Structure 1
Amino acid sequence: MMPFTEDFAYFFATIYGGIIIGVLFDFYRASKNNFKIMQYCSIVLDAVFWITTTLVIFITVNAVESFELRYYHFVALFIGFILYYNTISKFVLAIINKIIYLITNLIKKTLQYIVSISENLYYIIAYSIHFLFDIIFYIPNMILATGRFMKRKSNGKLKIKKRV
């Protein structure tokens, strides 16, 4: 039989598992509130959250008592979650929301810059190719057409009135 102080230490160690579950819950809530696609995949995300929570519980119980599961582990996990949720959850959730906002804005701005650069690059390439075709085909044809026009005019078809 274990001494009471050792059980008490395990109890407090398990409270940290409840706090970790609270942090995971805040990440889950923040991602669900900030991304609309998460609302459509709610069932899958709920399952992922609960599987992750179960893994945290198993890891916590393994780290504390090598899988000797006792009733106070569940009580401690619940107390840890409630302590976290009622004290600092609002602040952590606000920080997570701001981080998500900053990251999504950074990604949006980066994509907008990439799109604007690629649009400008497209116009630069397209107008350069158009200019090259003008130089290669249009200008020589214009010079040849002007030369043919001048030949036609100089062949005697010009009528000059003489003044009397």
Structure 2
Amino acid sequence: MIPFTQDVSVFYGTIYGGIIIGLLFDIHRGLKHNFKFINYFSLFFDLLFWILVTLITFITINAIEFFDLRYYHFVALFLGFILYYNTISKFVLSVINKIILFTTNSCKKTVHYIVAILNNLYYVIIYSIHLMFDIIFYIPNIFLSAIRCIKRKSIKRIKN
């Protein structure tokens, strides 16, 4: 028989597992709120959430009692989740939303700057190639045309 004090410490440890599940739930809510494509694949992400919750439950119970499952584990998990959800969930969710917003804005700005740099680089390369073709093809043709024109005028002067 397990002493009562050890049962209480196991109960508190399982409450921490419920708090971790609550934190995972807020991360899931934050991602669903900020990314609309997750709503299209809601079934997949909900399934992923519940698989993670199941893993956290089994890891918690394994770490605390080596899979000696008792009814109060589920009560403690539920109590930890409710405790977390009613106390700091709003604060954590707002922090998660701010982190997601900062990350997405940073990624958008980074992509925008990279596209701007590549756009400018594109024009630098295109104008450089254009200048090379001008030098190779048009400038010699201008000189040849000028020489032909001078020869025609000199021939007309000689005839007159």
Q: How does 1:1-150 map to 2 (within 5 A)?
A: 1-150=1-150
Deviating more after overlay: 15-24 vs 130-139: 130-139
**How high is the sequence identity, in percent, across the aligned residues?**
63
Alignment TM-score, normalising by the size of structure 1:
0.94
Q: Distance in 2 between matches of 1:141 and 1:4?
A: 101
Instruction: Give the deviation of 1:85 after TM superposition.
Output: 0.2
| Aligned residue type for 1:77 | L
Instruction: Give the deviation of 1:136 after TM superposition.
Output: 1.2
| Aligned residue type for 1:42 | S
Instruction: Give the deviation of 1:40 after TM superposition.
Output: 0.4
- Tell me the matched-pair count: 160
Instruction: Give the deviation of 1:157 after TM superposition.
Output: 5.0
Instruction: Give the deviation of 1:156 after TM superposition.
Output: 2.8
Cα shift readout 1:124-159 (whole Å, capped 9, x = no counterpart): 000011011111111111111111111111113589
| Aligned residue type for 1:25 | F
Cα shift readout 1:25-81 (whole Å, capped 9, x = no counterpart): 000000001111100000011111001000000010111111010010000000100
RMSD of Structure 2 on Structure 1 (CA): 1.3
Q: Distance in 2 between matches of 1:158 and 1:145?
A: 20
Cα shift readout 1:75-130 (whole Å, capped 9, x = no counterpart): 00001000000000000000011111111111111111111111100100000110
Change (3 A) 1:138 1:60: same
Unaligned runs of 5+ in 1: none
| Aligned residue type for 1:72 | Y
Q: Distance in 1 between matches of 2:45 and 2:55?
A: 15
Alignment TM-score, normalising by the size of structure 2:
0.96
Q: Tell me the SS of whatever aligns to 2:68.
A: coil
